[in-house]
């Protein structure tokens, strides 16, 4: 099984889990497993078409999946997937 590491901002939707062991031969399979167990993560990770949200950085074995095969990136049993939503910084002078 591959392991998904969740950034702190995602842990509340995953019952506080830092890591989750998931089944699947591809990133798509692993995310399906994860989202099947923690459906509250779906809006934070994927869009309505099931694609990774553009503001989410995903790494498989320390390599950005955008540079690999995206959701079709192959996973090994010892793979580590890191999910990190991008953090937006606002204008320090903004009141919004």
pLDDT digit string, tens, across residues 74-90: 999 999 999 999 875 54
- Whether 92 shows a pLDDT value over 80: the answer reads no
The residue that leads in pLDDT, 73 or 88, is 73
pLDDT of residue 88: 58
pTM for this prediction = 0.87
- Whether 36 shows a pLDDT value over 90: the answer reads yes
| CA pair distance 49, 5, nearest whole angstrom | 23
Domains of the chain (ranges, CATH numbers): 2-85 (3.10.20.30)
3-state DSSP assignment of residue 39: helix
49: left (phi over 0), alpha (psi -120 to 50) or beta: alpha
pLDDT of residue 89: 53
Please state, in angstroms and as integers, the Cα–Cα distance from residue 41 to each residue in 63, 70, 82, 85, following that order. Answer: 22, 19, 14, 11
3-state DSSP assignment of residue 75: coil
The residue that leads in pLDDT, 96 or 34, is 34
- Whether 62 shows a pLDDT value over 70: the answer reads yes
Mean per-residue pLDDT for 50-54?
A: 93
The residue that leads in pLDDT, 9 or 91, is 9
């Amino acid at each position: 099984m591959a392991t998904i590491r969740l950034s702190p901002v995602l842990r509340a939707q995953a019952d506080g889990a830092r890591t989750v062991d998931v089944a699947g031969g591809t990133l798509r399979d692993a995310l399906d497993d994860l989202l099947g167990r923690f459906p509250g993560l779906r809006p934070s990770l994927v869009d309505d078409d099931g694609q990774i949200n553009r503001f989410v950085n995903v790494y498989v074995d320390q390599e950005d999946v955008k540079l690999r095969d995206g959701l079709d990136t192959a996973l090994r049993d010892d793979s580590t997937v890191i999910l990190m939503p991008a953090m937006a910084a606002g204008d320090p002078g903004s009141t919004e």
